[in-house]
Each structure stands twice: as C-alpha cells, then as structure tokens.
Structure 1
Amino acid sequence: MSDRSETSVTSGEDSKGRIEQIAEAALRLFARYGYKRTSMDDIAREAGVARATLYLHFKGKDDVFRAMLAGLGGRVETRCREALATPGPFSERLAALMEAHHGTAFAAFSAGEHLGELKAVMVAIAGAELAAFEATFVSFARQLFEEAEARGEIAIARSGLALETLIATLTRAAAGAKYGDQPSCEHYLVRLREVATVFAAAVAPPASARS
C-alpha cells in the first residue's frame, strides 16, 4: 500500500512538471510566432516531448494556452509577494509591485509583435485565467495601499478617488504605458516607475502629517 502511494505521488509530481515544461515551451512559441502560427507539433518539439505525450495532458492548443497563462500567473503572484516585502518608501514598493505584475507579463510576451493577437486570444478562450491574472494585481495593490495608509505613509483620500477606482485607474495607466511604438522591456519598466511616482504623489499625506 505504501509503495502504491509513493508511486502515485511521484507520478503526480512528474505530470505537474511535464505540464509546466509544456506550458513554458508554449509561452516561448506564442510570444515568438503568435497563437495562430504555433501548432501542437511545434509545441511538442519545443518542449522536447512526443506528440502523444502532449495530447496525454492537453486536448488541444486552447488547453495549452490556458495552462500557459495560469502558469505565468503563478510566477507573477510569487513575484508580487516578494515586491510587497521590498523595503523602502511607498513609491518604490508600488513601482516594485507594478514591475512584478505588469512588467513580468510584458517581458514574457514582448519577444515578438503579437501582443494584440495574444490579448484577443486571452479574452476569447481564457477569460477565467485572464480574470484571475488581473485580480492578482488588484488584490496585492489593495493590500499595499491599505497597509501603507495604516502606517501613515499615504492618505488615499488625497487622490479624490475610492481605493477600487484608484487601483483600476492604475491598471489602465500600466496598460496605456504600452501604447505607441512598442517599448523595449527596459523602457516599459521606466514607464511603470513613472506611473508609480505619479500615483504615489497623488496619495502623499499633507506635509503637516509627515512632519
């Protein structure tokens, strides 16, 4: 009985590792060639697995895409947790959070010129995964703002917006930082830091409260 249990655990771990391996390979291909131009055969070759192995875990490319997005979301969540623990003033922690979430996602997909297509695919076939990904930033941003206000670092009311509206506007600003000629990853991070600086200034407490 013990042997069967250990075999089952090992098999489950192997399966999880193989799924992650395939999802990471798919991410590289989707970023490089887009969704339509990437085939299941391409994914199998990039992942270094047999086609039969690929279909053992996924019914088709849509399933691979959803797993890819979920896997990226998991990595981003880990980085967001690390960002919240970053020492320093509020503006730096906000910038670190934006880089961890929006910057990581941009870096993952910016190898090619397929951001528009991939976002459309996300909306069409991976709505739940996309919503979870976006909710990650909202959750961590709310925690960051609320904890900073509790420590007297910021005053949310100074922005003139409710916290949920403030975070939604922050999210739109991060998306807007991609507009125009597609920036490099480095340039996008600079833009995110600029956005963080502006929003931190908007919730800075009065000088009398800081003195």
Structure 2
Amino acid sequence: MSDRSEGSGAPADETTNRVEQVADAALRLFARYGYKRTSMDDIAKEAGLAKATLYLHFKGKDDVFRAMLALLGQRVDARCREVLASTGPFAERLAALLRAHHGGAFAAFGAGDHLVELKAVIVSVAGEELLAFEEIFVRHAQRLMAESEAAGEIRLARAEVSPAALITTLMQAAAGAKLGALPSCETYGARLDAIASVVAAAVTPDR
C-alpha cells in the first residue's frame, strides 16, 4: 500500500483519520453497489470530502480498495482479540473466532450480489492485504489452540495433522461454506458453528 501521507501536508494523525474516513465510506459503497459501479466521485461524496482532497491521499480507486480492506482487517482483528480474551469451551470460542473473522468479512460486504465481484477485485489488486487479512485468523487460531492445549482442554495430536494444516482446513471449510446459493449471514454463521463443532470433536480428549 502506498504512503498516502507523503506530500499531503497534513499531520500524521489527521491523515490517518482521513484515510479511515474514506476507507469506511468505500466499504459501504462497495458493499452496496460493487466495485465497478462505485466512482471516486461517489467515494468523496460518501466520505464528505472534496474530490481534490480525496486525491491528496489516494492515487485512485484501487488504492482506496486496499485501504478499505486494511481497515476491515483492523476491525476484524479487534473482534478476534475479544474472542481470545473471553472464556468458555474450546468449541464455543473457535466458533466465535470463525464468526469474528470469516463471518465479519462476509457481513461487511453485504453478503449480496456484489460478493463475487469484490472477491475477484481483492485477488487482482489487494493480494498483500488479503494475505495480511488471512494471517489475522491464522495468528489467533494458533493462540487459541495453544492455550486450549496447555489447559488440557484439547489434544491437537488427535487430529493426526499439524496445527498449521488444521488451521488451513478451517479456512478452507469456511470458504466452502459460502458455495452454492449465497447464504444469509445467519445461515453462514450457523455453518461456521458446525465447522467449529466438527474440529473441536476431533481434538477433544475422551472423558
């Protein structure tokens, strides 16, 4: 992502706030209208800024899109941290983590007609941001599993795959849960809960 504060003449905090303001407006517009139908004019109006001000911080719509995905990652990361700070059975916390990360992204993009288009745009213009977004789940899932195993609640060896492979399987299952007719946020959340239940059963010792 480019250094948008360069040449803007604005203090760092003001620049950060302005970038977040634009990214938040873009997230609403991309979810509502899709990427192609959203213009820089639309983004400037939604953010309450002059178009010239918008271009002080962003080179173009791709740049805005990357900032939008980075902002979404920050919000999802905060939700994941809340899950890790909570207490409860491993299965419930894993389900909450899946909902915070994968469910949060699904809901943010409106779970509507533009989801397929936005996924394609992410791959084409925001590869680094996508990897960073996925790493959020990996990092928190690793910590959840490590803490739960240290507490004697789970035994990862029961799954007969490495923790890394187990987390990859979780991510693949979460992606697969959106296939077919596009589910509602509620339905998708229920599917994530089922995925968590299956994985938890695979690593929970017999009592």
Instruction: Point out the more displaced range, 106-115 or 84-93.
Output: 106-115
Partner of 1:7: none
Greater Rg over alpha carbons, structure: 1
After TM superposition, the score normalised by the length of structure 1 is 0.91
Contact persistence 2:111–2:182 (CA under 8 A):
no
Partner of 1:28: 28
Contact persistence 1:102–1:174 (CA under 8 A):
yes
Partner of 2:176: 176
List alignment gaps of at least 5 residues for structure 1. 1-9
Deviation (angstroms), 1:112: 3.0
Partner of 1:78: 78
3-state SS of the aligned residue for 1:183?
Answer: coil
Residue 77 of structure 2 aligns with an amino acid whose one-letter code is E
Deviation (angstroms), 1:152: 0.6
Structure 1 stretches of at least 4 aligned residues deviating more than 4 Å after TM superposition: none
Name the Cα RMSD after superposition.
1.1
3-state SS of the aligned residue for 1:152?
Answer: coil
Partner of 1:154: 154
Deviation (angstroms), 1:111: 4.9
In structure 2, distance between residues paired with 1:13 and 1:165 = 40
| Structure 2 residue 110 is matched with structure 1 residue 110 | yes
Contact persistence 1:22–1:43 (CA under 8 A):
yes
Partner of 1:6: none
Identity among equivalent positions (%) equals 65
Residue 165 of structure 1 aligns with an amino acid whose one-letter code is A
After TM superposition, the score normalised by the length of structure 2 is 0.93
| Structure 2 residue 15 is matched with structure 1 residue 19 | no
Partner of 1:201: 201
Contact persistence 1:32–1:111 (CA under 8 A):
no
In structure 1, distance between residues paired with 2:141 and 2:12 = 34
In structure 1, distance between residues paired with 2:111 and 2:179 = 16
Partner of 1:61: 61
List alignment gaps of at least 5 residues for structure 2. 1-9
Contact persistence 1:33–1:112 (CA under 8 A):
no
